[in-house]
Amino acid sequence: MNKRKIYLDYAATTSVDPLVFKAMLPYFREKYGNPGSLHKFGQEAIAALDKAREIIAKSIGANFNEIIFTGSATEASNLALRGIIKTLRIFDAGKIGKNQKYLIQNPRIIISAIEHESILETAKDLEQDGIEVIFIPVNKEGVVDLREIKKSLNDQTVLISVMYANNEIGVIEPISEIAKIISEFKKNKKQIYPLFHTDAVQAFQFLDCNVNNLGVDLMTLSAHKIYGPKGVGLLYAKGLKPLSNELARKGILFNNSFLKPIITGGGQEFGFRSGTENIPLIVGFARAIQLVGQKKLKELKRMRKIKDFFYKELRKAFSDVQIFNCYNTLPNIISVYFPGFSAQDVLIKLDQEGIEVSSGSACLMRAATKSHVLGALGFKNERILGNVRFSFGRYTKKDDIKELIKRLKKVLFN
Amino acid sequence: MNKRKIYLDYAATTSVDPLVFKAMLPYFREKYGNPGSLHKFGQEAIAALDKAREIIAKSIGANFNEIIFTGSATEASNLALRGIIKTLRIFDAGKIGKNQKYLIQNPRIIISAIEHESILETAKDLEQDGIEVIFIPVNKEGVVDLREIKKSLNDQTVLISVMYANNEIGVIEPISEIAKIISEFKKNKKQIYPLFHTDAVQAFQFLDCNVNNLGVDLMTLSAHKIYGPKGVGLLYAKGLKPLSNELARKGILFNNSFLKPIITGGGQEFGFRSGTENIPLIVGFARAIQLVGQKKLKELKRMRKIKDFFYKELRKAFSDVQIFNCYNTLPNIISVYFPGFSAQDVLIKLDQEGIEVSSGSACLMRAATKSHVLGALGFKNERILGNVRFSFGRYTKKDDIKELIKRLKKVLFN
């Protein structure tokens, strides 16, 4: 009785697309040079790196030198938050414990209450260092409160980070509206701060991620959520200027840069992220981004149809099912609660039936902590613990949804 | 006139071994689950991660939970230095600029003068934060001065970092002797600090890297220098206890851990390095380490013969050649100076002849800065700028050396 496996956890991770894999392949064993080497092998590696950076920059409307490759999206978001705060710190070297200062007296960071752990935990960590962190609530639909953002802005605010689309519930945030609020604030106050960062990891597949249209200063992307390899992410940073190791140590007053590296060494990635460049993964990342670009609109439509179909079939099959806001959300994520069933129950039983889904963030599963995202929506305990996230992807067909409904019935009615 | 290509820059990077690649392969497209997911796909990923960690831990005499996978060796070394300093910081949250303190009043880090940039630049960066950094000189042979280390130890010293074998000149440092000095100091002073870190990236292929034999508390390893993939490194950290996100924020007083994460988020890697685990690369890393273990002694002997042969042939062919200390160095690295020739000259000409070598660190090449390692040896400018590093590897044969000598003659005599 070997049932067809159906993977519906695309928001956790995806398989590497065959075309992406094909692009990566030569760089493992043939063109394996270190871009730091002067010889032809090294030059070949630099050329591949440059080409990947160019493809990606172009696809989001950025400049070549505004892309910093990292080891993960988590690292990219850490770089955004920590790297900005780091530029503000002034130390009297050798006099620690006496004279630590910030260029801005009481630096403030504003984040939404439903950020990914990579932002949330990093902000909380910076809070330990005396940075003020303001958490912006969301409404029942999961959308951040724009008036609260406006109210929270002050002349000490250095960064606002709001995710483009949420990984647990798929809700899409009004990024360009927030950008306008910030831009107006800066104009009025004649300030260069605050900078605006968005985590577009989940959004990239389906939404417009042109940084100029969005009006963001910083953006995090990941490869393994878009059929690229695990182990590579990037930070877009507007107007970034290459940094020497010496300048990187000095900070904003000296080099006019708003970012300092959090991983230092050989000075790769224009000085903003040291470590031998991971050519195979970076090449794969660029190919994955290209492929998403080619398929974006078509996939968006296809996915919407699948989601609609699932929505209707769910309602038909389970009269008391609770489905989270189906409209202002990504077309591939749908959050569902079957009253009386814990998520763990549903997950394990579906798993036995060959269907793989999640309760929310993969990161949360391991820590076995309760979702802060669902908490921010005002959900009650039972609803939080019962949340099942279905996330669809490139290989999901209407037939899979029919099977899903069939097996769900078996699992929940028996 | 297409001459056989001869790659002699193994110390910069290596190609992925076919067996390593074979081990990685299933995890790109078939077993691509996120280890954070509860379902079978996720469990399969966790199993692969656990197995890789076990293989590696065993191979260096460590425990399972003492291995932290990172995105590079550079990141691992940053984690060691920054993570340790971070545990010492106490902030009065909300009162920045007023009350920053360290648990130790004037924390000191001791490093050798010939460390890799990932240590050197990170230490210099921490210096900006008020940490005292002592640089230990080396003698003409490149060996650190043990008396200087002894003299530099004080009760404020939290970390000593000395690389096991140098990447530019191959010199092997007396790690276990340094460990004894530190251990004695701690015993006398009844202190838990200083901790001892070594960067064993270049040493791993040929030398004993059992952490107990070495007596180190922390050790950095890289995959792409040992025929594993780029984009994965690890930090060994003795006696590390898993850390929750909440505990990680609090630091040493609260959780009795000597390390705090520098990249925060989902709490992967026991809380010490967040970001989706890179299963394919980690599996490849473990396989690469296994293969090195199986071949270590045989390769050591083979490589020594090749180096000896090269040494003799060099002397025969070029009467005025200067060869750096051939004895207390790795068997695959040989640093050579041809008086009257700049490294760039030799490199470019050899490259045209199909032979790929480096002047020193690949990281340095790009920055076009002068080697601090050769400077620390007391070399004069001309010698520093003329240094050519030949580094041999698994595919280097005696015949390649014959060809090398032949082409070197052509390049230097014509």
Q: Which residue in the block uniquely carries the two structure tokens 């613990």?
A: A385
What is the distance between the alpha carbons of residues A224 and A253, in angstroms, rounded to a whole number? 37
Instruction: Classify domain B18-288 at the CATH topology level.
Output: Aspartate Aminotransferase; domain 2 (3.40.640)
Report the share of chain B in percent with pLDDT over 70.
91
CA distances from B85 to A20, A215, B141, B178 (A): 40, 37, 32, 21
A255-273 pLDDT, tens per residue? Answer: 457 899 999 999 999 999 9
The vertex-A103 CA angle with A100 and A105, nearest 5°, equals 80
CA distances from A407 to B256, B321, B393 (A): 48, 76, 55
| pLDDT confidence band for B23 (50 / 70 / 90) | very high
Contact status, residue B236 vs residue B225, Cβ threshold 8 Å:
no
- Inform me whether the C-beta atom of residue B244 falls under 8 Å from chain A C-beta atoms: yes
Q: What is the CA radius of gyration of chain A?
A: 22
**Which of chain A's residues have a Cβ under 8 Å away from the Cβ of B357?**
39
Closest CB to A93: pick one of B78, B89, B130: B130
What is the distance between the alpha carbons of residues A101 and A133, in angstroms, rounded to a whole number? 18
Residue B414 has pLDDT above 90, yes or no: no
- Determine whether the interchain pair B264/A365 forms a contact, defined as Cβ–Cβ distance below 8 Å: no
Looking at residue B21, its pLDDT comes to 98
What is the distance between the alpha carbons of residues A194 and A182, in angstroms, rounded to a whole number? 7
- Determine whether the interchain pair B96/A118 forms a contact, defined as Cβ–Cβ distance below 8 Å: no
Q: Which strand ranges, in their side-by-side order, compose the sheet holding A387-391?
A: A322-323, A333-337, A387-391
- Determine whether the interchain pair A130/B94 forms a contact, defined as Cβ–Cβ distance below 8 Å: yes
**Which of chain B's residues have a Cβ under 8 Å away from the Cβ of A117?**
245, 264-267, 274
- Inform me whether the C-beta atom of residue A86 falls under 8 Å from chain B C-beta atoms: no
Looking at residue A249, its pLDDT comes to 53
Amino acid at B72: S
DSSP annotation of A193 reads P
- Determine whether the interchain pair B230/A277 forms a contact, defined as Cβ–Cβ distance below 8 Å: yes
Residues 374-393 of chain A with CB under 8 A from chain B are none
| pLDDT confidence band for A370 (50 / 70 / 90) | confident
- Inform me whether the C-beta atom of residue B358 falls under 8 Å from chain A C-beta atoms: yes
A81-132 pLDDT, tens per residue? Answer: 999 998 887 654 444 444 456 678 889 999 999 999 999 999 999 998 889 9
Q: Which residue in the block uniquely carries the two structure tokens 């969005």?
A: A214
User: CA torsion, points B72, B73, B76, B77, in degrees to nearest 10?
Assistant: -140
A118 φψ region: left (φ > 0), alpha (ψ -120 to 50), beta (else): alpha
B209 given a catalytic annotation: no
Tokens (6 digits) for A51: 């080409």
Residues 178-237 of chain A with CB under 8 A from chain B are 224, 229-233
Residue A326 has pLDDT above 90, yes or no: no
- Determine whether the interchain pair B362/A224 forms a contact, defined as Cβ–Cβ distance below 8 Å: no
Q: If you measure CA to CA, which chain A residue comes closest to B36?
A: A362
Report the share of chain A in percent with pLDDT over 90.
80
Phi and psi at B149, nearest 5°, equal -60, -50
Tokens (6 digits) for A208: 């417009």
B338-395 pLDDT, tens per residue? Answer: 999 999 999 999 999 999 999 876 545 454 568 999 999 999 999 999 999 999 999 9
What is the three-class DSSP state of B237?
strand
What is the distance between the alpha carbons of residues A197 and A220, in angstroms, rounded to a whole number? 8
- Inform me whether the C-beta atom of residue B401 falls under 8 Å from chain A C-beta atoms: no
Nearest to A252, CA basis, from A130, A77, A106, A101: A101
**Interface probe with A: pick from B134, B276, B356, B358, most Cβ of A within 10 Å:** B276
Contact status, residue B177 vs residue B213, Cβ threshold 8 Å:
no
Task: Considering the candidates B25, B363, B405, B412, report the single residue annotated as catalytic.
Answer: B363
Looking at residue B71, its pLDDT comes to 98
B211-236 pLDDT, tens per residue? Answer: 999 999 999 999 999 999 999 999 99
Contact status, residue B209 vs residue B219, Cβ threshold 8 Å:
yes
Contact status, residue B36 vs residue A362, Cβ threshold 8 Å:
yes
Closest CB to A91: pick one of B35, B129, B366: B129
Which residues of A are marked as active site?
363
- Determine whether the interchain pair A363/B278 forms a contact, defined as Cβ–Cβ distance below 8 Å: no
Nearest to A85, CA basis, from A222, A214, A260: A260
Looking at residue B388, its pLDDT comes to 95
Q: If you measure CA to CA, which chain B residue comes closest to A260?
A: B125
Residues 266-295 of chain B with CB under 8 A from chain A are 266-268, 274-281
Pairs across A and B, CB distance < 8 A: 345
Q: If you measure CA to CA, which chain B residue comes closest to A251?
A: B128
**Which of chain B's residues have a Cβ under 8 Å away from the Cβ of A132?**
94
Contact status, residue B412 vs residue B338, Cβ threshold 8 Å:
yes
**Which of chain B's residues have a Cβ under 8 Å away from the Cβ of A71?**
70-72, 75, 231, 275, 278
Tokens (6 digits) for B222: 């890289």
What is the distance between the alpha carbons of residues B278 and B56, in angstroms, rounded to a whole number? 15
Looking at residue B257, its pLDDT comes to 75
What is the distance between the alpha carbons of residues B89 and B143, in angstroms, rounded to a whole number? 33
What is the distance between the alpha carbons of residues A44 and B163, in angstroms, rounded to a whole number? 30
Strands A108-112 and A132-136: parallel
Query: Where are the domains positioned within chain A?
Result: 6-15+296-413, 18-288
Predicted structure pTM score: 0.95
Instruction: Classify domain A6-15+296-413 at the CATH topology level.
Output: Aspartate Aminotransferase, domain 1 (3.90.1150)
Q: Tell me, what's the ipTM?
A: 0.94
B249-289 pLDDT, tens per residue? Answer: 544 443 457 899 999 999 999 999 999 999 999 999 999 99
DSSP for B89-101, written as a single string: EE--TT-TTT--E
B164-173 pLDDT, tens per residue? Answer: 999 999 999 9
Q: Which residue has the higher pLDDT, A344 or B90?
A: A344
